[in-house]
Amino acid sequence: MSIAHRDYSTHNSRIQVDIYSDRIEFSNPGRSLVPLEYIETAHSETGNPLLMNFLRDLEITEQRARGIRTIKSSLKIAGLAEPTFEHKGDWFVATIFSTAFIKSDDQVWLSQFAVYKLKERHLNAMVYVLHNHNGITNEIYRDINNMINVRDDIRATKELARLTKIGLLIKKGKFRYTKYVLNPKSSLKTD
C-alpha cells in the first residue's frame, strides 16, 4: 500500500518501483511511523488517515496493520525468501529479491554452485533441469528467462554452452534436437 503510507509532505518525491536483475525495490517517500524492529507487531498507524479511511471504505484495505505480516506470510507459504524492510535516508524501502521467486529448497540446492557466480538466467535453467529430467532446450531457456529479442537464441546457446563447459549440464543431440540435462556428477543433491 505504497499510496496509503507514503509521506505526501514531499511534493516532488514519487513512489518508486525499481526492478534490478537481482531484486525489486519499492521505495516510498518518508520513514515508517513505527520503528522497523516493531513493524510486524505494531498497531495500525498512518500519516494519512483520510486516505486510509477512503481506501477502507472502497474495501481496498482493512486498516488493521496486517500488510507486512500478510506479505511475509504469503511468501513463506509459497516457500519463498522473506522481503527486507529498511530506511534509506528519508525513504522507506521494501525489497523482494529475485531469488525470492525460486523456492527456498531450490535456493539451498543452488548454493552448491555459488563458486561459478551464475547469472539469474543460469540459475533459472538449473532449477528447470532439476525438476524436468527431460532437459532444457534453447527455446525453453528463452521462455523461462523472458528472452524475446531477435538474437536471444544465440545468447541462449552461449549461456547454455557455459553451463556445459563448467560441467553442470550435459549436451545431448544436435541442431534443433539439442537439449541439456543435469550432469549427475555436478550435483550434490537432487530431488
Residue type, 107: Q
Amino acid sitting at position 138: N
Position 115, amino acid: V
Query: pTM surpassing 0.85?
Result: no
| Under 8 Å between Cβ of 122 and 114 | no
More confident residue, 123 or 10: 123
- pLDDT on residue 159: 97
Q: Supply 78's cell numbers.
A: 509459497
The Cα 34–Cα 183 span in angstroms is 50
Task: Convert the pLDDT of each residue in 115-124 to its tens digit.
Answer: 898 888 999 9
- Is it the case that residue 143 has pLDDT exceeding 80? yes
Q: Tell whether the model's pLDDT for residue 11 goes beyond 70.
A: no
Start-to-end Cα distance in the chain: 38
Domains of the chain plus CATH, in order, are: 2-100 (3.30.565.60), 104-182 (1.10.10.10)
